[in-house]
Amino acid sequence: MAKTKLLFITHEMSPFLELSKISEITRQLPQAMQDKGYEIRILMPRFGNINERRNRLHEVIRLSGMNIIIDDNDNPLIIKVASIPSARMQVYFLDNEEYFQRKHVFRDGSEKFYEDNDERMIFFCKGALETVKKLGWAPDVVHCHGWMTALVPTYLKTTYKDDPTFKNSKVVYSIYDDCFTEKLNDRFAEKATLNGVNESDTEVFKPATCNALHFGAINLADAVVYGSATIDKDVLNYVKKANKQVLEYDSTSDFENYYNLYEEIANEEIVSLA
């Protein structure tokens, strides 16, 4: 029987970048699932404060060379890879000089929120899916961690829904309390639109707030995980109204619960067809 393929998309992961609890879970959970027999891939941005030499990143020439179009501008996508020898896991890094080669991650040295965080997010979400397509690796489950991945569920269920790589993929979205209080660019929803995405699909993103990102991801996710003990009450209410399958925060410390969630949603269609 073929191994279940599990894709993790995150903006941080230990030991490469440690900003919040997300970096711990995205380090430990993939290894736990690999130990369960899953085939794992992990994607994250190559932010400028990730040390290439120390972490032994090197470019994957066969995957690099794509352009991600945002607002009619071509943005080169460079793919790098590093290994975690103790875990036998590889991590793919999405790089772009303009978007990621900075000393800081989401805010500058004066703690000012970067004005182009909207485009950086679009680049990462679209670039992640294009990278997986180029890998020729079809994930059964895609697990997105944090607000920077919030466009992935929408893209998977619209633009990429008939793509052979993703047509059978289920998507899980983990919500954390790592949000921002500012707004993204007013044109975020417009810029985020791709072929196959209707205006109605991005309407929810128009407020360009962190909660709006969560709402959009929740709409098209197959399951939701509460990755923090405290989640905004409006987000909690939205999940309840959306009637999504949920993994409660109290259950996230036991990786067996993640395994059961992945198995359940990955086999949903098989069960319904039986």
Domain 5-273, what fold? Rossmann fold (3.40.50)
Per-residue pLDDT of 4-14, as tens digits, reads 999 999 999 99
Give one DSSP letter per residue of 124-190, joined into a string.
Answer: HHHHHHHHHHHHT---SEEEEESGGGTTHHHHHHTTTTTSTTTTT-EEEEEE-S---SS---TTHHH
Per-residue pLDDT of 222-261, as tens digits, reads 999 999 999 999 999 999 999 999 999 999 999 999 999 9
The proportion of the chain whose per-residue pLDDT surpasses 90, expressed as a percent, equals 79
The pLDDT of residue 152: 97
Q: Which tokens sit at 67? A: 């352009």
The pLDDT of residue 1: 56
- Cβ neighbours, 10 Å, residue 65: 11
pTM listed for this prediction: 0.94
The CA-atom distances, in angstroms, between 199 and each of 50, 154, 160, 191 are: 36, 12, 16, 11
Mean pLDDT lowest for which of 11-15, 78-82, 212-216, 270-274? Answer: 270-274
The pLDDT of residue 271: 38
The pLDDT of residue 273: 31
Per-residue pLDDT of 163-189, as tens digits, reads 999 999 999 999 999 889 999 999 999
Per-residue pLDDT of 195-212, as tens digits, reads 778 778 889 999 999 999
Mean pLDDT for all residues in the chain: 92
**What band does 52 get if pLDDT is binned at 50, 70 and 90?**
confident
The pLDDT of residue 269: 56
Mean pLDDT of 66-86: 90
In contact, 6 and 140? CB cutoff 8 Å: yes
Per-residue pLDDT of 122-152, as tens digits, reads 999 999 999 999 999 999 999 999 999 999 9
The pLDDT of residue 270: 40
Give one DSSP letter per residue of 63-127, joined into a string.
Answer: T--EEEEETTEEEEEEEEEEEETTTTEEEEEEE-HHHH-SSSSSB-TT-PBPTTHHHHHHHHHHH
Asked if residue 90 has pLDDT above 70, the reply is yes
